Amino acid sequence: THQQLLHHIWGVTHTEDTHYLRIVVSQLRKKLEDDSNAPAYIITEPGIGYRLICCSSKSKASE
C-alpha cells in the first residue's frame, strides 16, 4: 500500500506524503518502462498503492 511504502522508505512521519511516492514511481517508470504513460511493470492500484509485475508474470499473462 502507499502507507507501507512510505513508512519503509521515509519513516513513520511521512506515511501521508503520497506525493513523494508518486514522484519516485514516475522516475522509476521512466527508467524501466518502454512507455511510461502505459506502464507494464509498475501498475497503479487506485486507492491502494502499486503492484510490481515481474517479467515471468507478464509473459504468462500473454500466453
**pTM for the whole structure:** 0.72
Helical ranges in the chain per DSSP H: 2-10, 18-32, 55-61
Judged against a pLDDT cut of 50, whether residue 19 lies above it is answered with yes
Say how far apart CA 50 and CA 48 lie, in whole Å.
Answer: 7
Task: Please tell me the predicted confidence (pLDDT) of residue 20.
Answer: 87
Residue 18 — pLDDT band, cuts 50, 70, 90? confident
CA distance 7 to 9: 6
Residue-wise pLDDT tens digits, 25-61: 999 999 999 998 899 999 999 989 999 998 755 554 5
Average pLDDT over every residue of 5-20: 88
3 vs 49: CA distance, rounded Å: 8
Q: Distance (Å, rounded) from C-alpha 18 to C-alpha 5?
A: 9
Domains in the chain (CATH in brackets) are 2-61 (1.10.10.10)
